[in-house]
Amino acid sequence: MDPKNIRNVAIIAHVDHGKTTLVDAMLWQSGLFRDNQAVHERVMDSMDLEREKGITIMAKNTAVSFGDIKINIVDTPGHADFGGEVERTLTMVDGVILLVDSSEGPLPQTRFVLQKALAGQLPIIAVINKIDRPDRRPEEVLDELYSLFIDLDAEEDQLDFPVLYTNAKAGQAFTSLEAALAGEGGESLEPLFKAIVEHIPAPTGSLDESARFLVTNLDWSDYVGRLVIGPLRHGRLRSGQEVAVMKDGEVFKKGQIKVLYTYQGLSRVETQEVFAGDIVAMAGLEDAFIGDTIADPENPVALPTVVVDEPTLSMEFSVNSSPLAGKEGKLLTSRQIKDRLDKEALYNVSIRVEPTPGQSDSYRVSARGELQLAVLVETMRREGFELTLGPPRIIVSEIDGQKHEPLELAVIDVPEEFIGVVTEKLSARRGQVNKLANHGSGRVRLEIKMPTRGLIGYRSQFMTDTRGTGLLNTLVIGTTPFLGPIKGRPNGSLVSDRSGAAVTYALYHLEPRGIIFASPGDPVYPGLIVGENSRGEDLWVNPCKEKKLTNVRASGSDEALRLTPPRRFSLEEAIEYIREDEMLEVTPKSIRLRKKPVEKNK
């Protein structure tokens, strides 16, 4: 295919602004599916975790046809923790569709992805989505978008971007706000397809130069094994051809392409030859990883590698050392854990894995945020791993001899009556209010700069303070000199002092002490946290204590005891909850909180 007939475009936005829904509509309207075909909603979210959480975790690509033009579309994650996916995706494409919610406007991840797109000199099509919302404010959102471009030092020609209005759920696109509000002429997404063809440039690669292919993604096929995916920048490649794998600008190894694929819809289509400009997949190169260049061995020329921002948080992954180890999982050893983490680091460019100093069976895993670490742990436990996790810690850097810690911008959307409690709690965590905006809808938007340390463990507190009505989004914006101590969780723990099974009688009499995490029949052992103490210190308790039996009976003395339902943690909540002297035991069936020393008073 002539490179002039190809367009490579990424769809970028904040989480929940409708990227994957828009890709769904584009796939339907390109004639990819039969009218009676059963297709999942958000068909690009193919992982189980993506469907359960309702977010995109891994960037995935598809291709549609519009007339004679082939459009390669990459759907990217919208959560800041998966920013590494967006950064490597932007190296694959020649332009971006920036999606913004017509009510929420630009949010932290919008800022992050736009900054990366502007730095890469990528042309932008702005799309204001969810134009059917009753609380829409498209004119103000467009003004906010222009302000964001100016704030990010966009050049004059970058400010001249086309604007479209869409209702992705209904598959409608409009070229003007008046038509969008009136609902006129928006029967399809044709205006969006036309804008992509007109405003996104064709790939600049030459068919006559030597082949240069950049590895930006890895995948697996049950038939041909490992696949490397990315854009072919120059030249052409054929099935069976010998190529050179280049790392850090040098030829690392030579290999042979076994199978070549191009994308059509959701499928990979086998082909004998691929040409410059297309996004392709190939099998046979086991030693190629993300950031490597596949080149002509006669004239090897390296492409710029994939560069991503540094991680901000780390956690220690180690062997499950509790008395219950090995009862629920099948992958238990440090070697199995290390192999799995090393594999993740190869596939995921924003994760770092290194041995923990002084500990032989423990590994420090660094990532962008708690959600990214939680997704990795959840994936591992579903594969059958048992792990012990340490508390999340910030990654401190040293600049000019002074300690610096990661600084985040928290954008908070809350009803007016909760402003006081939110600002009070965040100022205690070293937060500084940067901006406050009231759009007159009864909700207020706050922008607060605060250290990453201050956000660890705050989300559950935030949901309690705002009674579940607040929205909290964060983005790492740099580093700041170390801001001193931050007060952690004020409550201590109720800790089991013996092994056995939790008993209703004991838990009933522990309820006045605080919040209980265990249910009757749950196995316990010394050091296991069975509840939260209402006071600041830890309290060792006996959750296995049974009622003493006597031969005296009185009316009503043996009535059934009714327990308050225990608090159950999701993995993300548990990671946020634990303190410095606590750990998580994670198995395929259970998440248990425990103290670091297992024996009492050790």
From the first residue on, what is the mean pLDDT of each consecutive set of 10 residues in the chain (602 residues)? 82 81 79 56 62 73 83 80 78 88 83 83 89 85 88 84 87 83 75 88 82 84 82 87 86 87 82 87 84 86 80 88 87 88 82 84 86 88 90 86 86 86 86 81 84 82 83 82 81 89 90 89 90 88 84 61 86 86 90 74 50
pLDDT of residue 186: 65
So what's the pLDDT on residue 600?
A: 47
pLDDT at site 552: 66
In the 8-state DSSP scheme, what is residue 375? Answer: H
Sequence-ordered list of residues with C-beta below 8 angstroms from that of 201, at least 6 positions apart, any chain: 94, 95, 123
Instruction: Supply the pTM of this predicted model.
Output: 0.80
Pairing of strands 293-295, 212-214: antiparallel
Question: Is there a contact between 283 and 225 (Cβ–Cβ < 8 Å)?
Answer: yes
Bridge partners, 388 (sequence order) = 318, 585
Compute how many other C-beta atoms are within 10 angstroms of the C-beta atom of residue 62.
22
Whole-angstrom distance, CA of residue 137 vs CA of residue 144:
11
Separation in Å, CA 116 to CA 113, 135, 176, 324, 477: 5, 30, 27, 46, 13
What pLDDT was estimated at residue 40? Answer: 54
Q: Which two tokens stand for residue 559?
A: 């009535």
